[in-house]
Structure 1
């Protein structure tokens, strides 16, 4: 009888010890959770510092005094241009970033930061979805499928790395530095370009400048001064003397009632590498993708060609964003007829 009682007692105390042990483990787990609050050393600024390919973005954050923001509680989303993207934008070294104008770097860095956690890979499959930046600017995100791969772009810039997590947000690496837009309308952006003075005056003379001040969106393929001169409009006086209706007919063939970045064509074009763009006058322009010489089988640009153009028209400047559209600058006038 005593043996039976002893056995039962041992079983009872063994069970009690198991319960106590589990309770202690649970208490320890709860205590660990309580101390796992986000720390400054695993925040977005630390992610930037730890990534060797983002040394120029770190220099930009330093120059613009954005470090406190990137170590704040957040949440934030950072679209960080790679070092190669800064080089392409004219900043070959960290020193060139660190000695740039403070107000410029503040605008640029703030344009690459979003309030909130944005999972770009969960956005709808649509072109140019508008989101707002930390400093109030507009960005346009595209999520699309190309050759069975999901591709993300921001203002036509490729997203290279998605969802590098920090305790106060997310960081994505992009292949081009995004320039904050300075102009609310395409008309203003064209007027501000010294090399588009003839095209700008033709817009005013034709009456189309008022249209491009509207809500939009519009994409303008503006012929530079050399192109306008070659076409026959060599001076402002010649344009002023031209028939406004003739000018309007010419310029409507350079405007699309849509927001179109270069990479939008690359994403939406099939295996033929050729597509068309409907213009404001209801005529079409042929769009041909240009191969990327560094990546066989891929494309990195476009050319345009109207029925009257003997050769493809090249873009000398692309993806200039404004509040109501996009500006591309071409090296020839687009022609409907020869």
Structure 2
């Protein structure tokens, strides 16, 4: 072969190999500082927890994570760049309903303003919430969609590593007087109210997106009104009224941590010796107040955050034990022997907490 031809082929091969070599680049990975407080013995340990162990945070500045699925490639440079939150949502094939909701509510600039945590419901989550299609989202009242979306935004960046473990941590949302309760078992098991994070830590421009498997519905009434709206809790509501300010002041109050109420049904009150509402209205208010506060926790706790064998302290000062088996949560009072109450209707969201309907009155002694 002619020497000049061989030389040309060698040079061409070198150029092709050079062009095919991978581009190398590096990304910094800064670990965010935790923003939530502690104060809870990890549920399941069988030891008592301090009232208020659900902590509240005005979330701090979670730090940046290595760009991952929330990034795009800068054409021609091979460099990864983080995109805006709405652009990231538009790129994800399982967030089409959320994109339609943002458009319907006119909240593009709100989602893109930076320093946010967005809990982003998947398309399947929207379908499960009753929105059959993107068109259904686009046809819904804009004010309703805006209210729902603002409930999914926290005005500070919170990466998964910044969420305290084994603590019901409450975060204020972009919707006034409405908080989210976040509970982390591990980095791969994090609850947001009754939802779960299924794809977390997706960085966008100065923000982070966590994809969740349910649409979070904000409350319209507080705990007292929520109970009064349930005909099967009329005995409980009568007991709250009879107990007076010591209970009403608690259940009407808005706090950063919120409250959890275990509300016995009418049949549960009858089984505990209250034949009718008249019997409740004739009962000693102090006795009822002590009884009812034994059914209250001083933080928001959704059903999937309860741990098997955990002992938790109530607003009354006594403790109850939670047990979980095959997805069923039971609550055992100190005076109930082996007869635990079962949560029959879980995770009823109020503006100042969460209510669980139970089938037995809890007895403190």
- Structure-1-length-normalised TM-score: 0.69
Matching of residues 184-333 of structure 1 within 5 Å = 185-207=222-244, 208-214=247-253, 215=255, 217-233=258-274, 235-266=276-307, 273-291=308-326, 300-306=327-333, 307-308=335-336, 311-322=339-350, 324-333=352-361
C-alpha RMSD over aligned residues: 3.4
Structure 1 residues 90, 196: closer, same or farther in 2, change over 3 A?
Answer: farther
TM-superposed CA distance for 1:172, in Å, is 0.8
Give the secondary-structure state (helix, strand or coil) at the position aligned to 2:306. Answer: helix
Give the secondary-structure state (helix, strand or coil) at the position aligned to 2:140. Answer: coil
Higher relative contact order (CA 8 A, sep 6+): 2
Tell me the residue number matched to 2:36: none
Matching of residues 142-181 of structure 1 within 5 Å = 142-145=183-186, 151-167=189-205, 169-181=207-219
Equivalent-residue separation in structure 2 for 1:329 and 1:162 (angstroms) = 31
Equivalent-residue separation in structure 2 for 1:50 and 1:83 (angstroms) = 13
Tell me the residue number matched to 1:48: 89
Structure 1 residues 131, 247: closer, same or farther in 2, change over 3 A?
Answer: closer
Query: Which runs of no fewer than 5 residues in structure 1 stay unpaired?
Result: 1-31, 267-272, 292-299
Tell me the residue number matched to 1:131: 171
Tell me the residue number matched to 2:19: none
TM-superposed CA distance for 1:90, in Å, is 4.1
Query: Which runs of no fewer than 5 residues in structure 2 stay unpaired?
Result: 1-75
Tell me the residue number matched to 2:49: none
TM-superposed CA distance for 1:164, in Å, is 1.6
Tell me the residue number matched to 2:15: none
Equivalent-residue separation in structure 1 for 2:251 and 2:290 (angstroms) = 15
Give the secondary-structure state (helix, strand or coil) at the position aligned to 2:323. Answer: strand
Q: Which is higher, the Rg of structure 1 or of structure 2?
A: 1
Tell me the residue number matched to 2:20: none
Structure 1 residues 132, 244: closer, same or farther in 2, change over 3 A?
Answer: closer
Structure 1 residues 318, 121: closer, same or farther in 2, change over 3 A?
Answer: same
Give the secondary-structure state (helix, strand or coil) at the position aligned to 1:201. Answer: helix
TM-superposed CA distance for 1:265, in Å, is 2.0
TM-superposed CA distance for 1:150, in Å, is 5.5
Contact 1:315/1:328 (CA < 8 Å) preserved in 2? Answer: yes
Tell me the residue number matched to 1:79: 119
1:108 aligns with 2:148: yes
Structure 1 residues 87, 232: closer, same or farther in 2, change over 3 A?
Answer: farther
TM-superposed CA distance for 1:94, in Å, is 4.0
Equivalent-residue separation in structure 1 for 2:145 and 2:232 (angstroms) = 25
Q: Which of the pair is proportionally richer in helix?
A: 1
Tell me the residue number matched to 2:160: 120
TM-superposed CA distance for 1:113, in Å, is 2.0
Structure 1 residues 59, 213: closer, same or farther in 2, change over 3 A?
Answer: same
Give the secondary-structure state (helix, strand or coil) at the position aligned to 2:95. Answer: helix
TM-superposed CA distance for 1:220, in Å, is 1.1
Contact 1:79/1:172 (CA < 8 Å) preserved in 2? Answer: yes
TM-superposed CA distance for 1:173, in Å, is 0.7
TM-superposed CA distance for 1:232, in Å, is 4.9
Cα deviation per residue 1:120-166 (whole Å; 9 max; x = unaligned)?
32344462334332334323333444xxx564332353222112233
